[in-house]
Structure 1
Amino acid sequence: MSTETPIAKDGIANPAPLGLCAFGMTTVLLNLANAGFIPLTSMILAMGIFYGGLAQVIAGIIEAKKNNTFGLTAFTSYGFFWLTLVALLVMPKLGWAEAPSGSTMPAFLAVWGVFTLLMFFGTLKLNRALQFVFASLTILFFLLVIGDATENPSVKHLAGYEGIICGLSAIYTGIANVLNEVYGRTVMPVGPVNK
C-alpha cells in the first residue's frame, strides 16, 4: 500500500471535507449556545465569519471548478448564511440597522429551512451521511422557527441539542471523506446509495 495521499483525478482536491467540517464545527458551537452550555460570544461570531462563512464559500468555489453543482450551491449558500447571520447579530450593535424582531427572524429561518429541505432531495442520489446532515438541518431550522416565533426557550434549547447532533454529523461526514481518501478504502462508512 502506498504511503502517498491519493491525488484527485482532475488535479483538484476534494473541497467537501473543508465545507462539511466548517459547517459542522460552526453549527456545533452555535448550538452549544442555543442549548445553554456556553454564551454567544465573539468566538462563535468569528467562527461564523471565517470558518463557517469564508471557508465554505471557498469550498463552494472549488466545487464549481470540479463541475459539482450540488456542492457549489450547498457550500456557497451555507457559507453566506453564516456571514448573513453574523451580520444580523452585529449590524444592530454597530447602529447600522435595526435588529430582527417579531416575525422577521422566523421568516429568515423558514426560508433557509425550505431551501434545506429542497437540497435534501439532492442528497437522495449521494450518500446516507449527507442525507442525515440535510434532514437534521431541515429539522433544526424549523425548530428554530418555532422557538423564535413562540419565544419559547425550551424549544430553542431543544433546537440546540438537535443542532449539536446535526453539526457532529457534518463533521463525521467531512472527516470520513478525508480518511477514506487518505487510506484508499472505507475507514468511516458514509452509506453509499445504490444508483
Structure 2
Amino acid sequence: MSKTINVYVDETGKSKVQKTISESAAIAETIIKDTTANPAPLGLMGFGLTTILLNMHNIGLFGLSSMILAMGIFYGGLAQIIAGIMEWKKKNTFGTVAFTSYGLFWISLVFIIMMPKLGIAKAPSATEMSAYLFMWGVFTTILWFGTFKANKALMIVFSLLVVLFMLLAYADASGNASIKTIAGYEGILCGLSAIYAGAAQIINEAYGKTVLPLGEF
C-alpha cells in the first residue's frame, strides 16, 4: 500500500493540501512447482529393450516372432508415446519429439511387417525399406545435434542410433547380410546405452545423488 500526497495551489495563492490514499495493485507472483515424475527413463527403457530384442533377431539368434512385434507395439511404441506426452507437459520439446517419434517408428515398423501378411498392402521392396531407414537416420541426426545440450550418455545413444539406421539402410540397399549382422551387434550396443541412460536417471533420483554418471556438459 502506498500513500500519495498531492499539493494544489488555488487562485488566492493559498496552498491546499489534498491527501489521497491510493492502493497500488499487488503483483502476485505465482510459483509453479513441478511435482510430476521424470518420463525420460520410461522412454529410454522402452526404446532400449525393444532395440536389443530386434537386433538379437538381426544377428540370427531367433526369428521374428510375436514377441518382438508385441514389444514393438506396446513397450517400444505406446510406452514411448506416453513418455513423449509427459515430456510435452513438462515443456520439453526435445523429449516430446524424440519419444513420440520413435514410439510411432516402432508401431509403423510392426505395421510394415504385418500389413502384407494381412493382405492390406504389399511388402516393401529392399529399396523402399532402405529409404525408410535412411530417412529415420536423417531424423536422428537432427536430434543428435540437440544432445550436445543434454549429457554425454544421451549423446552416445543418439550417435549409435544414427550409425544403426545408416547401417541397416545400407544393408537393405546392398543386400549384404554381413552388414546387417554388424548392424545387429551395433544395435544391441545402442540399446544397452539407452538402458544405461534410463537406469542412471532412475537410480540417481532414488538415491538423491549421482550413482551412475550421465556425463553432464
Same fold (TM > 0.5): yes
Higher RCO, 1 or 2 (CA under 8 Å, sep at least 6)? 1
Q: Report what 1:156 is aligned to.
A: 180
TM-score (norm 1): 0.94
- Matched with 1:50 is 74
In structure 1, the residue matched to 2:144 is 120
More strand by share: 2
Task: Specify the structure having the higher radius of gyration (Cα).
Answer: 2
Q: How far did 1:49 drift?
A: 0.1
- In structure 1, distance between residues paired with 2:62 and 2:122: 26
Partner of 2:108: 84
Give the 4+ runs in structure 1 shifted more than 4 A.
Answer: none
For residues 160 and 38 of structure 1, what CA distance do their matches in structure 2 show?
12
The whole-number CA distance in structure 2 between the counterparts of 1:137 and 1:75 is 14
Percent identity between matched residues is 62
SS at match of 1:172: helix
TM-score (norm 2): 0.84
Indicate the structure with greater helix content.
Answer: 1
- Give the 5 Å matches for 1:1-195: 9-193=33-217
Report the Cα distance in structure 1 between the residues aligned to 2:99 and 2:45, rounded to whole angstroms.
11
The number of aligned residues is: 185
Q: 2:83, 2:146 → 1: CA distance?
A: 18
One-letter identity of the residue aligned with 2:103: G
Structure 1 residue 102: Cα displacement: 3.4
What CA distance in whole angstroms lies between the structure 2 residues aligned with 1:129 and 1:40?
Answer: 30
Task: Provide Cα deviations, 1:34-53, integer angstroms capped at 9, x if missing partner.
Answer: 01112111100000000000
CA distance in 2, matches of 1:109, 1:142: 7
Say what the alpha-carbon RMSD is for the aligned residues: 0.6
Distance in 2 between residues matched to 1:73 and 1:99, nearest whole Å: 28
